Structure 1
Amino acid sequence: LPNNAGNFQEGYHEPALNIGCTAIALDTMGSSESKPISAHVWKASAPSSLSQDLVDSLQSSNETDASRTKIYELQIQARVAEELKKLQQQEAEALKIAHEKLNSAEYKEDGSLSQKTVNKEIEAMRKKLEERKQVRPLPEAVEGARNEVIRCLREHDRRPLDCWQEVESFKAEVKKLEKSWVEKVVS
């Protein structure tokens, strides 16, 4: 290249390829075409180094920049949707595996109880409490003291304070029953 290769005003010009494109746009606002459709016409102002096949394919192509852009956008959207679907499947599989591991483990790595084990223990305690809720018949001594209080109150319906001895003996029997129950639970 000559020294003045960068300066175009000094007389050096590289051969340029000037290809012009003429097309008539479509008016898509209405229901029918308002302008006629014309094919791309490629005019070269200088001899080009492009093959005639390429020029012919460009002339016969109905694609515009907007249609190519739309096609590329649709392809990209399809790829993104496909990748999202793959990621969702991988995430669902990972969650499934994690849940299976959590459900199958009796103890966690740090030695604490798992949820399954704790639930089993809670259920066992509930069963024990249900068994304790069952009403048992009162011992003979408590039942007898209770009946004495009822009899006395019926006899002395206007003077309940006269039944204090029967009430005290009932309290003593209940106290014995409570004491034996506490000893049984504690041991």
Structure 2
Amino acid sequence: MGSANSTLQDSAPVSFSQDLVDTLADNAASPSPSPARQNSIDAHIRARIQAELQHLRAEEQTVRDQIQAALEKENLDRERAMSGDPDSVKTSPALLADLEEVRAKVDRFHARRDLSEYPGLRENSDALVACYKNNPATPLDCSQQVDNFKASVAEIEKEHVKSLQ
């Protein structure tokens, strides 16, 4: 069936142009991929590096959280051991409530420091600050303002002591 047509014939040797041979030799000698293929490979490698980096960061955060929890527990245990009374150690919410109470006390203290009741003190304080600002290189020029301020403070202190008696 077709075997008659497929006989081997002696044919002339195949020859290739020197340019083709050189190109094939160059491609065989340098197995680097084409620029498009190289860009694709680079993008794939970058994506894998980013994924691994995110994975490592997540693991690092998990380890940090575990360390933080262990340190908090260790500190709490140490405080309980030092106090002798396990119920005397405060928890974070209790400490936050205490902190808010202290902040409220500080705010009340600052409110009491309102100098509107003492206009002389306010004037002397403002004059002293202005003198220091006007004479940054020679603060000794403000000695009169300092003396006036000190006198105002001394007078207010005397009034306060009298009010306590």
Q: TM-score, normalised by structure 2?
A: 0.32
The structure richer in strand per residue is 1
Q: TM-score, normalised by structure 1?
A: 0.28
The structure richer in helix per residue is 2
**Larger-Rg structure:** 1
